[in-house]
Chain A
Amino acid sequence: MSLKKLVNEIKFRTGTAKCTEYLELVQRVLDGQASRSQEVYLKRHQKMCLKCLERFNIDQEIKKLIQLKLASREVPEGLAEAIKTKIAKSA
Chain B
Amino acid sequence: MEESPTKNDYTNQAKDKIFNEEFMPHIRAMYNFAHRLTYDEDDAKDLVQDTFMKSYRFINSFQQGTNAKAWLFRIMKNSFINDFRKKSKQPTKVDYQEVEGYYNSEGTQKAVTTDLRIDTVKNLIGDEITNALAALDIDFRTVIILCDLEGFTYEEMAKILDIPIGTVRSRLHRARNLLKEKLQSYAQSMGY
Nearest B residue to A66 via CB reads B148
Query: In residues 21-38 of chain A, which contact B (Cβ within 8 Å)?
Result: 23-24, 27, 31, 33
For B12, B111, B147, which residue has the most chain A Cβ atoms within 10 angstroms? B111
Tell me how many residues of B have a C-beta within 8 Å of chain A.
44
Contact, CB under 8 Å: B53 / A31: no
Contact, CB under 8 Å: B129 / A70: yes
- Which residues from chain A contact B153 at a C-beta distance below 8 Å? 33
Does B1 touch A at the CB level, under 8 Å? no
- Which residues from chain B contact A67 at a C-beta distance below 8 Å? 148-149
Does A1 touch B at the CB level, under 8 Å? no
Does A3 touch B at the CB level, under 8 Å? no
Query: In residues 31-54 of chain B, which contact A (Cβ within 8 Å)?
Result: 31-32, 35, 41, 45, 48-49, 52-53
Does B116 touch A at the CB level, under 8 Å? yes
Nearest A residue to B124 via CB reads A65
Nearest A residue to B180 via CB reads A62
Nearest-neighbour CB distance to chain B for A2, whole angstroms, equals 11
Contact with A along B136-168 (1 / 0, CB 8 A): 000000001001110001100000000000000
Contact, CB under 8 Å: B149 / A70: yes
Nearest-neighbour CB distance to chain A for B93, whole angstroms, equals 24
Nearest A residue to B15 via CB reads A91
A-B contacts counted at CB < 8 A amount to 98
Tell me how many residues of A have a C-beta within 8 Å of chain B.
34
With A57-B118, A66-B144 already in contact, the answer to whether A23 and B48 are too (CB < 8 A) is no
Does A47 touch B at the CB level, under 8 Å? no
Query: In residues 66-91 of chain A, which contact B (Cβ within 8 Å)?
Result: 66-67, 69-76, 79-80, 82-84, 86-87, 90-91
Does B76 touch A at the CB level, under 8 Å? no
Contact, CB under 8 Å: B148 / A63: yes
Interface residues of B (CB under 8 A from A): 12, 15, 19, 24, 27-28, 31-32, 35, 41, 45, 48-49, 52-53, 56-57, 109-111, 116-118, 121-122, 124-126, 129-130, 133, 144, 147-149, 153-154, 169, 172-173, 176, 179-180, 183
Which 8 residue pairs are nearest across A and B when measured between Cβ atoms? A69-B126, A61-B121, A66-B148, A83-B52, A75-B31, A69-B129, A87-B56, A75-B28
Other than the known A73-B31, A75-B28, what 12 A-B pairs have Cβ atoms closer than 8 Å? A33-B153, A61-B118, A62-B176, A62-B179, A69-B126, A69-B129, A70-B133, A73-B32, A79-B31, A79-B45, A86-B49, A87-B52
